[in-house]
Amino acid sequence: MVVRRLVGRWQGVVLSLIGLVATIWLGLTGQLALYIHPRYFVFTVVMAVIAGVLALVSFALVPSTHDGHGHGHEPASRWGWLLPAGSVLTIAAAVGALLILPPSTLTTSTVAQRDLNGSASALTLKAPALTSKADYSAFTVRDWASLLRSGAGQDFFADKTATVTGFISADKTDRDVFFVTRFVVACCAVDAQPIGVPVYHPGWQNEYKTDSWVTVTSGFRANPNAASRETIVLVPDSIKPTTQPEQPYVY
């Protein structure tokens, strides 16, 4: 069937072009950062343009095929529409997923699959120095999470106040604690590692939803729950809901 030949020939190039157009669009709108590290923006967009041109050229040069031996090997006519219909649905799904649905960030579903604060490289690669002259007011979620992982004692945190912004993810072992969470991206979203600062706030589940973004300003205290693995936590008087920042990841 002519329709099946056309669909079979052009399905690949259409799917390729959809992916390439989506990549270029994300790059032009600044949303490519939801998937890859900013240092790869220019390279990715340039390669997408080159790949698009090559895809069009290669498929344009492929000669059309004709079956001159009758239709003995064709599927029964009543089932012949299945292949074109399936291809059209595949293309429609790609358009919907890549060009229509808005890009989204990683969420707690990804945190659940990875070890929060479990990546030594994500925390220690840019770990701040423990000095008395450090500007702690500018410290980020990554900085505080790194200091907590370093084993600094309660005396060090006693006079420190942190302001951290991130999305809420639950502590798997302490119901009274949640984490102000961000993802550290070294290359792309596939290798993103979750980091977080523990917040002690009993009953937080009744006030906030996981994945909602908040800003917490508080001092550090010993966790009232002595059985918790998070021995030092933020104990805030108030938690301010906020919107997801334009740049949700940490690099």
Q: How much is the mean pLDDT over the chain?
A: 77
CA distance 135 to 39: 27
Beta bridge partners of 218: 162
Q: Which CATH number does the domain housing residue 167 bear?
A: 2.40.50.200
Range of the domain at 135: 108-250
Number of compact structural domains in the chain: 2
Task: Kindly list the distances between the CA atom of residue 186 and the CA atoms of 39, 70, 125, 193, in Å, as whole numbers in the listed order.
Answer: 10, 56, 11, 9
User: What does the pLDDT read at residue 191?
Assistant: 82
- pTM of the complete model beyond 0.85: no
* Domain match, 157 and 121 both: yes
Q: What is the mean pLDDT of residues 50-55?
A: 76
The pLDDT value recorded for residue 10 is: 59
44, 76, 100 - which closes a domain: 100
Q: Are residues 154 and 44 in the same domain?
A: no
Per-residue pLDDT tens for 175-191?
A: 999 999 999 988 877 78
Pair 140, 22 in one domain: no
- For residue 175, which of 213, 204, 145 has the smallest C-alpha distance? 204
Q: Which residue has the higher pLDDT, 184 or 56?
A: 184
Spatial distance between the Cα atoms of 234 and 231, rounded to a whole number of angstroms: 10
pLDDT tens, position by position, 32-41: 777 777 766 6
| Same domain, residue pair 66 and 179 | no
Verify that 95 and 118 share a domain, yes or no. no
Among the candidates 100, 134, 159, a domain finishes at 100
Average the pLDDT over each of 4-13, 47-56, 140-149, 211-220 and give the range with the smallest value: 4-13
- 56 and 115 in a single domain? The answer is no
State which of 100, 124, 142 marks the end of a domain.
100
Q: Decide if pLDDT at 213 tops 80.
A: yes
Same-domain pairing of 64 and 170: no
The answer, yes or no, to whether residue 97 has pLDDT greater than 50, is no
43 and 148 inside one domain? no
In this structure, the answer to whether residues 93 and 193 fall within a common structural domain is no
25 lies in the same domain as 143 = no
User: 48 with 120, same domain?
Assistant: no
Count of all residues that appear for the chain in the document: 251
* 198 and 89 inside one domain: no
Rounded CA-CA distance 216/208 in Å is 13
Convert the pLDDT of each residue in 112-124 to its tens digit.
888 888 776 667 6
